[in-house]
Structure 1
Amino acid sequence: MNQDPQPNPSPNPNRKPPELKPGTVKKLVIGIAAAIVLIYLGSTSFYTVQEQERAAVMTFGKYSHETTSGLHFKWPSPIQQVIVVPAELTQHITIGYRQNGNDITPVEEEAIMITGDENIVSADAVVTWKISNIQSYLYNISNPEQFLRNATGASIRSVIGSQKLDYAITDGKTEIQDQVRERLIELQARYDTGIQIIDLKFQDIEPPGGEVEDAFRAVTNAREEKNTKINNAAKYENDRIPKARGEAQALLEHAEAEKKSRILNAEGDVAKFNAIYAEYAKNPGVTESRLILETLEKILPGAKIFITNSGSDTVNYLPLNELLKNNASSASSNADTSPAPQGGNEQQ
């Protein structure tokens, strides 16, 4: 048998909420306060330092010590406070322009400056730096990045202001860059900024755009062409001079050899003459005859000599040339008609 459910009693508007005892309220307030304190202590007593960061811990507003990467404990604020800085991170600032991704925006007030010969030049640079001393970085300068930017601009203007434009945009770029870096490092040390300058590189040192830039570009091209021709001439000189020196040395050695050869020949002739003269002094007649005969052999090597008696008063005339020709003809004909030799001995 089903029974009808009892209807819900209607609320009584005159009913009062239960009253809490004074001790319970006090305990509840103390518990809430304790929870708040614990949450506050937990949120302000522990802090984390990332890998490329370091933290400066200040006790009652005064620098106390620094911590490296990891989870650390400190007294809750306001007893101790922590300032985390990217001390292990290498940072960069640009002078003369700003770069956002691939977008580059020139900053003319930083780039434009005057050279020592009162010309205008535009210089863009990149400074690489990092924090070397956290205490100096936090307490000695109010805006470290702006201070570094101003110090870099002052160093660049100081160096370029003492150089000529032609030197600054051509051969002097590297030297000017080194001088600016040294002055910037000196400024950081003088003001104890806690900033370490790692490097400074110029992107461009050039005249402002327009006709001036075109004129200086033409001057630069002409100077480069001049240097190229000088280098080519020096290369040709280095190639030709050793060859010429070698040829000259060869000529000198050949002349020296010829000189020694002639001296030796002359000394040989002198020795030969002295030997002949010694023999001549012993027997002049025999030596004279021998010399005459040797001379005749040299000047008449193929001559035929006929000896005749020239003691008579008559002139001897002999057709010597015709006799020689007839004798030569007879000898050749006899040689042609002579029989072949026979075997055996011929008896007379």
Structure 2
Amino acid sequence: MYRQEEPEINIDKLIARLKSMFGFLGKDGDGKGKGIGPTFLFGALSVILLLWLATGIFTVQPGEQAALKLLGQYSSTKGTGLQWWWPSPIGARDVVRIDEVRTIEVGIRGDTPVLSESIMITGDTNIVDVQLLVQYDIKNLKNYLYKVVSPDGSTLKDAIESSLRQVVGSGPIDDVLTDKKEDVQMATKGKLQSILDKYEAGIRIREVKLLNVFAPEQVKDAFDDVVRAREDKERIVNLAEAYKEDILPKA
């Protein structure tokens, strides 16, 4: 996420420079100072005000939005183009790329498993190790920035874990180990989006993907045997069907 920082103005340095630029207005012909007069003060303050107002000009690039705050409170959201808003300390702005597809992993970080996140209990009281990847983007910048704390950190991760545990816990272990992974992904995506919408997190879930699903090591061999047996059964059925289609026409 990109946030555009507000430019800062050093007022003391600016006044010192203005004095050096306009100081001649406060002197007579022999170079003796008369002091700073109203004309100088008005001119200096006008320049300072204009320079301060100019710092409120900014550009929102394609794919970005700017959330604007006035006196610390959200005011509005601006889209692509040249924009102006009250500079600091009256106003503030957060310019964020909203079309960027972000990712978060649960149960794994890179190549390192995180068992505290990935170990789950299935509906038939088996234990399974599930590693998940979620892709998302921002659908409501105001909510994303100001409604919840850490929207794409702990809030999102906790919502993902909760959704996945509900789905995994509602069905048998075979659903996540073998033939119903797609159903698990879709159900998790739906529950996750529902939770985030309830939080008003401003996040849209684009994809939920099961990266790795393992039976625990102590029972892994037994589950692998089950999977191999199922694959062998399907292969035999396919061979039988092929044989049937080949023999019947000849008969």
TM-score by length of 2: 0.77
SS of residue paired to 1:23:
coil
- Cα gap change, 1:39/1:164 in structure 2, threshold over 3 Å: closer, same or farther? same
RMSD of aligned residue pairs (Cα, Å): 2.5
Correspondence 1:165 to 2:165: no
What residue in structure 2 maps to residue 59 of structure 1?
70
Alignment of 1:101-120 (within 5 A): 104-120=111-127
Mapped contact 1:124–1:203 kept (Cα < 8 A): yes
**Alpha-carbon deviation of 1:71?**
2.7
Report the count of equivalent residues. 221
Give the letter for the 1:60 counterpart: L
SS of residue paired to 2:35:
helix
Matching residue within 40, 44, 52 for 1:40: 52
Matching residue within 23, 43, 66 for 2:35: 23
Q: What is the CA–CA distance in structure 1 between the aligned matches of 2:170 and 2:73, rounded to whole Å?
A: 44
**Alpha-carbon deviation of 1:39?**
3.9
Q: What is the CA–CA distance in structure 1 between the aligned matches of 2:165 and 2:131, rounded to whole Å?
A: 12
- Cα gap change, 1:20/1:143 in structure 2, threshold over 3 Å: closer, same or farther? farther
Mapped contact 2:175–2:184 kept (Cα < 8 A): no
**Alpha-carbon deviation of 1:51?**
2.7
Give the letter for the 1:136 counterpart: N
Structure 1 unaligned blocks of 5 or more: 1-18, 245-348
Correspondence 1:174 to 2:182: yes
Greater per-residue strand proportion: 2
**Alpha-carbon deviation of 1:145?**
0.7
What residue in structure 2 maps to residue 223 of structure 1?
230
TM-score by length of 1: 0.57
What residue in structure 1 maps to residue 213 of structure 2?
205
- Cα gap change, 1:107/1:39 in structure 2, threshold over 3 Å: closer, same or farther? farther
CA deviations over 1:214-263 (Å, ceiling 9, x no partner): 3222221121111101111121122223433xxxxxxxxxxxxxxxxxxx
Correspondence 1:75 to 2:86: yes
Correspondence 1:136 to 2:143: yes
SS of residue paired to 1:163:
coil
Alignment of 1:1-348 (within 5 A): 21-24=33-36, 36-43=48-55, 45-99=56-110, 104-146=111-153, 147-208=155-216, 210-244=217-251
Mapped contact 1:54–1:88 kept (Cα < 8 A): no
Rg comparison, structure with higher value: 1
Mapped contact 1:48–1:70 kept (Cα < 8 A): yes
Q: What is the CA–CA distance in structure 2 between the aligned matches of 1:95 and 1:27, rounded to whole Å?
A: 66
Q: What is the CA–CA distance in structure 1 between the aligned matches of 2:190 and 2:224, rounded to whole Å?
A: 29
**Alpha-carbon deviation of 1:27?**
7.4
Q: What is the CA–CA distance in structure 2 between the aligned matches of 1:36 and 1:106, rounded to whole Å?
A: 57
Give the letter for the 2:81 counterpart: G
Structure 2 unaligned blocks of 5 or more: 1-30
Mapped contact 2:60–2:82 kept (Cα < 8 A): yes
Greater per-residue helix proportion: 1
Q: What is the CA–CA distance in structure 2 between the aligned matches of 1:124 and 1:177, rounded to whole Å?
A: 12
Q: What is the CA–CA distance in structure 1 between the aligned matches of 2:246 and 2:186, rounded to whole Å?
A: 37
**Alpha-carbon deviation of 1:36?**
4.9
Higher RCO, Cα 8 Å, sep 6+: 2
SS of residue paired to 2:160:
helix
Mapped contact 2:123–2:172 kept (Cα < 8 A): yes
